[in-house]
Amino acid sequence: MAPPTVLIEQRALAARIREMATELRTALPNDDIHFVCVLKGAFMFLSDLVRALDERVSMDFIAVSSYGASTKSTGEVRLVKDVDTGLQGRHVVIVEDIVDTGLTLHYLQDILRRRGPASLHTACLLSKPSRRQVDVKVDFIGFTIDDHFVVGYGLDYAERYRNLPYIGIMVS
């Protein structure tokens, strides 16, 4: 199989993520930000985002059921790994790789909101609005893209390509 073709190059990702860090700090100027990173796809985005911020951050990780080896969602969301610490009174930012149908973020926002955070925001690197099935609020979006199945920079196809430093489109 040919390597994925470049959709968003490494330098564009880096520049936009630095801007997103500034947007987050502007929205939450005086608070400790507690990031909840959605595994596995958002790990690289989180890692660059937090390095563009100051020391008033902490982070935790959560995992939900994913597509498996398919490129289509089953529509079913299941919690696979919960966060390690409580969210009560904290300024929580969910960090996700991509919002597609919106089902995953809708589910996560619902369960995390019930834990009583002082505020709950969502930062998502990519958005595919044409595929949305539920209306979900995403406060910070890196890039809006057309309906392509994308890989790289944390995102996978059957667990491959997560290590690509750019966002690419699969070519068959």
Whole-number Cα distances in Å, 86 to 27, 107, 117: 22, 18, 9
Whether the Cβ atoms of residue 39 and residue 62 lie closer than 8 Å to each other: yes
The least distance separating ligand IMP from the CB of residue 33, rounded to whole angstroms, comes to 21
Q: Which of residues 113-152 bind ligand IMP (CB under 6 A)?
A: 149-151
Q: Measure the CA dihedral 48/49/51/53, to 10°.
A: 160
Q: Could you give phi then psi for residue 97, rounded to 5 degrees?
A: -75, -50
If the CB atoms of residues 11 and 81 are measured against Mg ion, the closer one turns out to be: 81
Q: Which of 41, 142, 154, 168 binds Mg ion (CB under 5 A)?
A: 41
Q: Judge whether 100 counts as a catalytic residue.
A: yes
The least distance separating ligand IMP from the CB of residue 148, rounded to whole angstroms, comes to 7
Count H helices, E strands: the chain?
3, 9
Q: Per DSSP, what are the bridge partners of residue 49?
A: none
The least distance separating Mg ion from the CB of residue 165, rounded to whole angstroms, comes to 18
Under rule CB under 6 A, residue 41 binds ligand IMP: yes
**Rule CB under 5 A: which residues touch Mg ion?**
41, 97
| Contacting positions for ligand IMP (CB under 6 A) | 41, 66-67, 73, 96-104, 149-151, 155
Question: Which residues are part of the catalytic machinery?
Answer: 100
